[in-house]
Homo-oligomer: A and B are copies of this chain.
Amino acid sequence: MTTQTLDGVRISTQANVYFGGKCVSHSVEFADGTKKSVGVILAAELTFNTGAPEIMECVAGGCEYRLAGTDAWVASGPGQQFSVPGNSRFDIRVADAYHYICHFG
C-alpha cells in the first residue's frame, strides 16, 4: 500500500528546489502543525544532510540509499520507508524517479 494522497493539509505553493532541480519538493502542514514534504528525486546520486530525524516513504518509483557509517546500498520501493537519524546524512541514487513523502521528527 502506498500513500497516494495527504488530506486536509496546507501546501506551500513555492517549491523547494535542490541540486539544480534533481530534487523538487513542496512543504505541507497538517491542521495539528505537523510538517511533512512531498517530492521527487530524478536520476541522480545525491547526498542529503538531516537536521531533524527523517522517515523517507516511497510512494512511486524507487531508489537505493546508504546511511552514514554504512557501506551497503539498500533498495527502497513503493510502500517502503527508511529512517535517517537527525544531524546525519544519507546518500541516495535514483535511476529514473523516486517519489516520496518525507516525515520529520
Contact = CB atoms under 8 A, between A and B. Distances in A.
Interface of A: 2-15, 17, 20-22, 24, 26, 28, 38-40, 42, 59-60, 97, 99-101
Copy total for this chain: 2
Given A21-B21, A26-B26, A40 B15 contact: yes
A60 B17 CA distance: 12
A36 B57 CA distance: 24
Contacts of A12: 4-5
B11 A99 contact: no
Rank and list the top 8 A-B pairs by shortest CB-CB distance, nearest first.
A15-B40, A24-B24, A13-B59, A21-B42, A14-B60, A14-B99, A7-B10, A5-B10
